[in-house]
Structure 1
Amino acid sequence: MKQMVTKSSLINHLKEAGIQRGESLFVHTSLSKLGWVCGGAQTVIEALQEVVGPSGLLMMATQTGDNSDPAEWEAPPVPVEWWQTIRAEMPPYEKEKTSTRGMGRVPELFRNYPNVYRSAHPMWSVAAWGEDAQTLVSGHSIDVGFGPGSPIERMIERHARVLHLGSPLDATTLWHYAEYGIDGPTKMFGCALIEQGERVWRTFEHTDVNSDPFGAIGENIVKQKDVHTFTINDATCYLIPANTWEPVQHALIALRSWLR
């Protein structure tokens, strides 16, 4: 029988995993895998906040994948004759209003939490709480994405760890940093945003980020001795050092060489 998860029991799990006060974490969650959580997403957020404290930092992905070019939509696709209307009518990204898509209940609640700051990227935003949170998410412009100058790079520089609470390894946002600087393909993206007070549809060229290989690569990463693995009900949880983006990058280079 599954055990009920409470704020106090989750705090114990996190502390036993080695999370310390003042630590920086990039958090991914699957609330359903954790089991029956008393208080749901609120309990998860507040347990994390209590463990790292105000001198720590929490960051979560708050991406808005539906604010994108409908020509790329597959789940589900829309008719070709709708594309131009969607590009003209899609509401622009506004960090205070625009909901996440496919991120789960915890990040969706987190972005609205007191003293949480959300970045300005219209497709790949992140939200942060704690020490220097506002500074870390600043300057997240459309051409930065997950690479140099992004909040992702700042988390790596801060030696943040990645915490998975039941979420799949291919959801590891920080590993997208590995896709930069390895002569990978680029792609044209499109989204709606506000520029100089006006709603516009913008297209931009960017590294073609792809998390599909992360699952298989991650299975090897989590076998390393500096990764802590633990379970909460059906949730397999990982605490992963930030510097694992480097072996991910090496694996991506090898994969692309093999595919050529």
Structure 2
Amino acid sequence: MNQRVIKALSALGIGKGDILYIASDITSFAIEVVNAKQDINECFNELISGLQNLVGDSGTLMFPIYSWDFNKGKSFDIRYTVGGTGALSNWILKNRPDFIRTAHPIYSFMVWGKDANTLASMNNIDSFGQFSPFGYMYKCDAKMIFFNVPIRRGVTFTHYVEESLQVPYRYFKPFSAKYIDSNGIESNRTYVMYVRDMNIKSKEYMPDSFYKDIVKEIKFDSFYIKLLGSRDTFRLTADDLLNNGGKNIYKFENYELDWSNKSYYKNR
């Protein structure tokens, strides 16, 4: 199974020096492993090592391990706080000491490779800003991989586009809680997130068909892998927000995207 995944990624053009953001739903993968009576830890190790070999020492791997407990005032421990964005990232946190966790308590990543230390040393207070890992993804045109995940569930990069454009339906909101660093030292910290105005009723849309002109896809057995370039995604998303009322990004119920009213939301 692992060899098929790596072969599929190679067929999509992934190779040495690439920067990969990997969103995954490994449920089906795990079921297949269990049915084949294989050791799950061994299979996950083989998969991660296969990805490392694919991009090489000149490449970088980024696995999202987002957690929203900090938003609720709960403490964040960079060593142990699990994420809510997939079992594979949490498995890496517990089992792969060759990965480093980036510092933001809400939108962190498990990272490995050439730029791992650069990413881990980022001190971005802002979740989606220019100097965050998302800004790095845009600057380096990272390749976003969606393994058995609909694009809309994994394309958090959309929020980087929204903040870059300063969309009028979001505003900056601070969150404060206890933060425990890699040395076990606890402190009170405040981080900022570009949040949606909850008075505006909306539902994330982003159908996979929206990305049809920029996506690469490969299917095998019951699995699929989709690939998007960060800069192509930025251009497509920005164009929809600026010129189409964001109709492919959200289904707004009581609001129409109005750029002339931006300052009201930005400064709330």
Q: CA deviation at 1:110?
A: 2.3
Amino acid at match of 1:151: P
Q: % of aligned pairs identical?
A: 23
Does the 8 Å contact 2:76/2:180 carry over to 1? no
Does the 8 Å contact 2:180/2:186 carry over to 1? yes
Any stretches of 5+ residues in structure 1 without a counterpart?
70-86
SS of structure 2 residue aligned to 1:255: coil
Residues in 1 aligned to 2:50 and 2:187: alpha-carbon distance in whole angstroms: 38
1:164 and 2:146 aligned = yes
Of residues 169, 175, 186 in structure 2, which corresponds to 1:190?
175
How many pairs align? 229
Q: Which residue of 1 aligns with 2:206?
A: 215
1:12 and 2:1 aligned = no
Residues in 1 aligned to 2:177 and 2:83: alpha-carbon distance in whole angstroms: 15
Any stretches of 5+ residues in structure 2 without a counterpart?
257-268
RMSD: 2.7
Q: CA deviation at 1:209?
A: 5.8
Of residues 75, 78, 101 in structure 2, which corresponds to 1:95?
78
Does the 8 Å contact 2:145/2:226 carry over to 1? yes
Moved more, 207-216 or 115-124: 207-216
1:206 and 2:193 aligned = yes
Q: Which residue of 1 aligns with 2:261?
A: none
Residues in 1 aligned to 2:187 and 2:76: alpha-carbon distance in whole angstroms: 9
Amino acid at match of 1:220: F
Does the 8 Å contact 2:144/2:227 carry over to 1? yes
Residues in 2 aligned to 1:10 and 1:128: alpha-carbon distance in whole angstroms: 20
1:133 and 2:121 aligned = no
SS of structure 1 residue aligned to 2:179: strand
Encode CA deviations 1:42-81: one digit per residue, 9 max, x unaligned.
3332221121112111111111122322xxxxxxxxxxxx
Q: Which residue of 1 aligns with 2:217?
A: 229
Q: CA deviation at 1:186?
A: 1.1
SS of structure 2 residue aligned to 1:124: coil
Does the 8 Å contact 1:118/1:127 carry over to 2? yes
Runs of 4+ aligned structure 1 residues displaced above 6 Å come to none
Encode CA deviations 1:191-238: one digit per residue, 9 max, x unaligned.
423389544374x5531169953532x4211x11x4211113333321
1:116 and 2:112 aligned = no
Does the 8 Å contact 1:186/1:207 carry over to 2? yes
| C-alpha spacing 1:230/1:140, structure 2 compared with 1 (3 Å) | farther
The normalised TM-score by structure 1 is: 0.77
Of residues 236, 239, 242 in structure 2, which corresponds to 1:250?
239
